Structure 1
Amino acid sequence: MKLLILACVVLLFAISSVVSTQRNHQVSGLISQSIKTISWSSSELEMETLKFMQALRRLALNDLSRDELLLRFDLLWSRIDVLATGEESRPFRDYPGATELLQRFKLHMIAIEPDILSLRPGDQAAIALEQSLTPLQQQVRLLNVQTAAGEKSWRKLRQISGLQDEANLYLLGLLLSGSILIFLLIRESTTNLTQAMHDSLTGLANRHAFHLKLKQTINSNRKRHMVAFMLDMNNFKYVNDQLGHAIGDQLLQAIAAQLQTTFGPKSTIARLGGDEFGIFIEGNHTPAACHQLVRQLHSEFNQGLTIQGHRLYPQLSIGSSVFPEDATEPDLLMRNADLAMYYAKHDPKANYYAFEQPMEDKRQRYHTLAEDLVSALANNQIRQVYQPVVCLKTRRIVLAEALLRWHHAQYGDISPLEVVTVAERAGLAEQLNAWVLTTASSQNMAWRKAGLPAIKTSVNISPAMYTRYDLAGMLTRTLAQTGLPADQLVLEITEDTTMQDIDSSPQILSQLRRLGVELALDDFGTGYSSLSHLKSMPFQKIKIDKSFIQACSSAPQRAHSVLRTIIHLGQSLGMQVVAEGIETRAQYEHLFAEGCQFGQGFWFHRPMSGDELAGLLHKHLQQDNVSYLSDKAAMERQV
């Protein structure tokens, strides 16, 4: 019914507008005919006649040239022709006596034309010609006065007045219908505003209303205290996916009702979107009071909610921020609460965090590093060092692991793990991995071109590069660009990375293996992969995590048993075993005795630059040459 009434009003509004417009056009047309067409035409004819008569007098006084006189004569002729033949001048010709006057004017002009053409400046005959035009000029003058003040003009003016009254009537209808329409629009706008400020599902304030109320509250009195909360449900996606959106909606409604009960009528509660809620309460709330509110809320939800026969236990992550201690601006206050909620969501041991400044410092550190990492990659501000891997039997270097090093101007040395984490979160994983692969491969080729002993280079691949991007394509391009043989490159992939996508991991690794590169399972023993999963992976190397090596000092018997098991497991699967973090001679001797083939750690070499490793390889080359010459001389003596 509301829509029908609105449609009728709009139709009435439209009809009134059309009719009113048409009437106004008629009024304008009549005004144009009676004033512009007739009066203007007759006044223009009179004006041209007077100008021509004046030109004749000036010619007789030798004050005007012949050409100027002829120009005025042509203009008068042109005006007469237009009025006599032009379609736009028809209303003028329809006026009584106008056509006859034009005919007489034309005949007179034809008659005096030869005399006009023969005139010269100072010729007194021009006076006589001027006097001959006087009767016609007076008739034109009379016609001009009649068109402006005659009875017919008055009749048209009265007709115009009548039409104007009708137009006013239609205008009144227009205003009336417009007023009704505006009234309905205002009422609808009020309803829409209410809907725009509230969440339709829960009835709570929405994001816009919440931030507006928070801003108004803070700006009205900046000396007051308040606490803001951000809440997020951890298992809401499971409810929607497994039980359906209808139950998910009812769960949100139940949570909204419980929030209102727990935080009370003096709080402002809003559903900010999805399963996220915002709350702020005025008053000086101590940390203990905030904890009490959160415990009360969790206590209610721990009892469970029954929705359509399903018993649900909502798991909430909550963060809080206090005004003005933590922030003095509304947006910053809620951002701090959101940041605290993020910590609560990613801490399995806690479901509530109060904002602390180190959280913001860490967030700011991440954003600064993410922004600066782009320029660091572009300007070669990141470098690589290389830690050798040696054969435990010969103590010779067989491989060099490429390690990231980044010295940030503000934060100093950034660990490789943090660099990788920042790159993955900032969408720079592909760019970073490409730089690492290219730099390591180019360095290896530089050693080879220098005639140094050939060693392999291993590169750590970040989880995002393994699961989200075309790693095989990147490897193909890198090897083609640098010229490094594929079998001289080792990719180190952590155990947890392969577990991120168990179904596709064997396929991805097989694709990499077909390129010819070697694969090493890094940090073995720290992840959660099963033996069946490990057996299906085409790795050539297993790297024992250094935590197992270091455990030999605190619990030697158990640690030795674990190491022995890992070494025998790797060898039984046909894989080479590399031990990381060897720092003492005892660790080295034990690993060698257990049959471990390769080792890496400070006991052998610390990470070094490419040039330093080149120098080390060069010394080994010299030692090999000396040993070869000594062996050769001994053989010759024996012969």
Structure 2
Amino acid sequence: MDQYPSLQTAVWIYDIDEHMIRWANEAALKWWQAKCVESLNQRDFAKNTSDAVKQALAGYQERFDQGNVICDVWQFSPLGVNKQAFCQFSGYQYIDEAGLKHKTMLVEATPLETLSPAIESQSAIIIASIDESGQLLSCNPPFKETFGKQIKHIEDITVSIAHNDTATELSESGSQIWLQRVRQAKGDVNKLELLLQTMRGERWFQVQFSAPKLQTDSLRYLLHLTDIDERKANELNLIEQTRSDVLTGALNRKGLRYELEKCIDRDKAFHVFYIDLDGFKMINDSLGHSTGDLVLHDTARRLESLSLTKGLISRFGGDEFIVAITSDLSQAEQEHVASQIVQVLSEPFSGEQENLLLISASVGLAAYPKDANTLDDVVRYADAAMYRSKQLGKKRWTKYEKGMENAILRKSLVAQYLSSAIDNNELRLYYQPILDTSIDQIFSFEALLRWEHHELGYVNPQEAISVAEDIGMIEKLENWVIKTALSDLKKLRRATSSNASMSINISALHIESDGLASYLQSQLREYALHSTDLIVEITESTLLSNLDNKNSAIDTLTERGIKIAIDDFGTGYSSLAYLHNIDASIVKIDKAFLSEKSGCNLTLSAIKTLIHALNLRPLIEGVETQEMADMCKEIGIELQQGYWHCRPQALDWYVDKSLEN
């Protein structure tokens, strides 16, 4: 040992079997407060060494036999004074004066206060031994200092266990979860991360456990505990960030999946309320993403304000949210929650300029395990129910029924095939004439989309348009309609001997796009048509931004001479606002006012008077009988459209008809 006497590091040789120090350098004698090695040899270390420490040292000996070196912070108590040192332990064969060989441990100890702050901040190794039931058998002084002297069982200090990179709340007998894993170790060294109750509050520890082979009547499990609270707090914070939506603070898709899969693991029922914001896309596209972000943030806050018991709130993607209730709800409770969601999300939102934004919510509900046995299916079924709410008119909730998911499948197929429908020449336009009954002449044709697919069959125009909006294809689709309709107009005029205009429905998303006006004019020029030959129809219920702005999209069209018709008048929420703020030419009265109920003529007469007072022309759609046509003409509504006058027909039909005549 000639190389150690002059070192400042305390070095000694400890005989694990005999519980004695066989040799020490000068620094070690000072550390142990001993005058000489002989006096240190006489100390009884077995007396004040706990069984847990003895068991730990026996485990060290096994590792030394494998050639391992162990480094850790230990606490020692020379003459009752607690000291901590960073130690390196290694196996050493000591030969005494009689020439006998002893398996010992070489200890190199550096006082903690002399090291760098990073090492100095480490706490002394905490050691304890337990039996198979979790009863505390023995521990070292740092264990008592950390957890208290009254601890009898690991249940007394266990709060939760880390599982799959995060914390899992334990039940009252939760310590049995990791006790079972300790027993399954069978002597191997294993590690767990546990949140434990200390004298300083709850802290995270890494617990290394093993069952060394000792000559005891019962198996003792040795625990090495290392404080990892700061590192674990940072880790959990990062995990929380990966499971949360940055914009709203709600759970993201990953976070919701984690929470609900825990319910499935425990066979615990839950309900999923799938939410889609009606009208959000147009607000986001027309008013900007900053306004859209405000709406999404406010949506999360409104859902939180419901204070739902055992409720999880997730922004599932885009403008879709999920509220999950992790308990079994009665039918009445399900209806109450769904109604609350629809109500709170259908109140006006405030934009950046404090302007009111009108949005509603469509909600679908599905339950585990009643409706499905997997999380993906429960969410898919709730989505299908939400889609059904949209089909029924939006601003409502629908409970999942078997087969609803087929509508989602169809929507997916429509989206898949629509992208190639134009290129494959699958789309057609039909034209329905609008008659001016005062002169018995065709006033205009309305272009109506038709799509017959070999697999999907007939695809409803509204279905195709809705999907086109969802997949960002609405401009391409409607530009095709514009080009085709304007190219057919002169042929229709010749076939019908009229000077009719062409009326084309344009979606709100397309109206707000920058290139629409230029595209319309380029197509009018290409087919040698005038601006007055085109009528753009917009729905009354469509929310358009900046109606009072002279630079609005609608004003841009009217300034270029293109006529505007307001469609479905009387079915939206802002009829008078549109009539006063849009420089329209025609107001199309919805066919709902042509009911068989008595008094409809009085209603129509009042609507006609209002429209005429604003210097606009009324147009009634849905005229299906001679009586309807005569009544509307008598009231003064001369522009009429409906099956009584003519069904929508392809261009060839009009051409063939003219040839017959």
TM-score with structure 2 length normalisation? 0.51
Are 2:331 and 1:288 aligned?
A: yes
CA contact (8 A) 1:466 1:497 kept: no
Report deviation, 1:560.
1.3
Report deviation, 1:611.
1.2
Report deviation, 1:467.
2.9
Are 2:627 and 1:576 aligned?
A: no
2:600 to 551, 554, 559: 559
Give the length in aligned residue pairs.
413
Structure 1 residues 328-351: Cα deviation after superposition (integer angstroms, max 9, x where no partner)? 333333454466578789999988
2:442 to 385, 392, 397: 397
Cα distance 1:278–1:448, how it changes in 2: closer, same or farther (>3 A)? closer
CA contact (8 A) 1:506 1:536 kept: no
Cα distance 1:440–1:409, how it changes in 2: closer, same or farther (>3 A)? same
2:339 and 2:563 mapped to 1: Cα distance? Answer: 56
1:503 and 1:343 mapped to 2: Cα distance? Answer: 35
Residue equivalent to 1:483: 528
Report deviation, 1:403.
0.8
Residue equivalent to 1:329: 374
CA contact (8 A) 1:198 1:204 kept: no
Residue equivalent to 1:23: none
1:249 and 1:582 mapped to 2: Cα distance? Answer: 42
CA contact (8 A) 1:225 1:322 kept: no
Q: Which amino acid aligns with 1:467?
A: E
Is the partner of 2:431 in helix, strand or coil? strand
Cα distance 1:323–1:618, how it changes in 2: closer, same or farther (>3 A)? same
Is the partner of 2:440 in helix, strand or coil? coil
1:229 to 265, 268, 272: 272
Report deviation, 1:382.
1.5
Cα distance 1:515–1:318, how it changes in 2: closer, same or farther (>3 A)? closer
2:523 and 2:451 mapped to 1: Cα distance? Answer: 22
Cα distance 1:475–1:204, how it changes in 2: closer, same or farther (>3 A)? closer
CA contact (8 A) 1:227 1:320 kept: no
1:569 and 1:190 mapped to 2: Cα distance? Answer: 70
- Computing the radius of gyration from Cα coordinates, the structure with the larger value is 1
Residue equivalent to 1:610: 651
Structure 1 residues 95-132: Cα deviation after superposition (integer angstroms, max 9, x where no partner)? xxxxxxxxxxxxxxxxxxxxxxxxxxxxxxxxxxxxxx
Are 2:632 and 1:591 aligned?
A: yes
Are 2:258 and 1:212 aligned?
A: yes
| Structure with the higher fraction of residues in helix conformation | 1
Are 2:543 and 1:502 aligned?
A: no
1:203 and 1:448 mapped to 2: Cα distance? Answer: 59
CA contact (8 A) 1:543 1:578 kept: yes
1:456 and 1:296 mapped to 2: Cα distance? Answer: 46
- Once the two structures are superposed, the pairs formed by residues 2-81 of structure 1 within 5 Å of their partners are none
CA contact (8 A) 1:498 1:505 kept: no
Structure 1 residues 381-410: Cα deviation after superposition (integer angstroms, max 9, x where no partner)? 111101112221343323221111122444
Residue equivalent to 1:523: 568
- Once the two structures are superposed, the pairs formed by residues 125-524 of structure 1 within 5 Å of their partners are 180=119, 188-198=230-240, 208=254, 210-212=256-258, 214-215=260-261, 218=264, 224=267, 226-230=269-273, 258-259=307-308, 262-263=309-310, 279=324, 281=326, 285=328, 287-288=330-331, 291=334, 294=337, 320-337=365-382, 354-447=399-492, 453-497=498-542, 501-504=546-549, 507-524=552-569
Report deviation, 1:185.
11
Are 2:642 and 1:601 aligned?
A: yes
1:491 and 1:249 mapped to 2: Cα distance? Answer: 34
Q: Which amino acid aligns with 1:194?
A: L
Cα distance 1:543–1:369, how it changes in 2: closer, same or farther (>3 A)? same
2:336 and 2:607 mapped to 1: Cα distance? Answer: 50
Residue equivalent to 1:25: none
CA contact (8 A) 1:430 1:469 kept: no
CA contact (8 A) 2:276 2:386 kept: no
Cα distance 1:604–1:209, how it changes in 2: closer, same or farther (>3 A)? closer
1:250 and 1:456 mapped to 2: Cα distance? Answer: 48
Q: Larger RCO: Structure 1 or Structure 2 (Cα < 8 Å, ≥ 6 residues apart)?
A: 1
2:549 and 2:574 mapped to 1: Cα distance? Answer: 14
CA contact (8 A) 1:452 1:618 kept: no
Report deviation, 1:488.
1.7
CA contact (8 A) 1:581 1:601 kept: yes
CA contact (8 A) 1:392 1:592 kept: yes
Is the partner of 1:211 in helix, strand or coil? helix
Report deviation, 1:598.
2.3
1:567 and 1:437 mapped to 2: Cα distance? Answer: 30
Structure 1 residues 47-79: Cα deviation after superposition (integer angstroms, max 9, x where no partner)? xxxxxxxxxxxxxxxxxxxxxxxxxxxxxxxxx
CA contact (8 A) 1:389 1:401 kept: yes
2:250 and 2:369 mapped to 1: Cα distance? Answer: 25
Report deviation, 1:450.
7.5
Report deviation, 1:447.
4.1
Structure 1 residues 254-307: Cα deviation after superposition (integer angstroms, max 9, x where no partner)? 869x55xx34xxxx957668996754647xx47538639949999xx9xxxxxx
CA contact (8 A) 1:543 1:579 kept: yes
Structure 1 residues 523-564: Cα deviation after superposition (integer angstroms, max 9, x where no partner)? 22333445475144322222222222x22x321xx2112222
Cα distance 1:410–1:180, how it changes in 2: closer, same or farther (>3 A)? farther
| Structure with the higher fraction of residues in strand conformation | 2
CA contact (8 A) 2:474 2:510 kept: yes
CA contact (8 A) 1:570 1:577 kept: yes
Are 2:582 and 1:541 aligned?
A: no
1:366 and 1:254 mapped to 2: Cα distance? Answer: 31
CA contact (8 A) 1:386 1:613 kept: no
Is the partner of 2:588 in helix, strand or coil? strand
Structure 1, gaps ≥5 residues long: 1-168, 302-314, 623-639
* RMSD of aligned alpha carbons: 5.1
Q: Which amino acid aligns with 1:602?
A: Y
2:504 and 2:607 mapped to 1: Cα distance? Answer: 23
TM-score with structure 1 length normalisation? 0.53
Structure 1 residues 584-608: Cα deviation after superposition (integer angstroms, max 9, x where no partner)? 1122222222333222211121111
Is the partner of 2:422 in helix, strand or coil? helix
Is the partner of 1:374 in helix, strand or coil? helix
1:599 and 1:189 mapped to 2: Cα distance? Answer: 75
Q: Which amino acid aligns with 1:356?
A: E
CA contact (8 A) 1:229 1:318 kept: no
Residue equivalent to 2:26: none
2:390 and 2:495 mapped to 1: Cα distance? Answer: 53
CA contact (8 A) 2:304 2:313 kept: no
Q: Which amino acid aligns with 1:538?
A: D
Structure 2, gaps ≥5 residues long: 1-107, 123-225, 281-289, 345-359
Is the partner of 1:554 in helix, strand or coil? coil
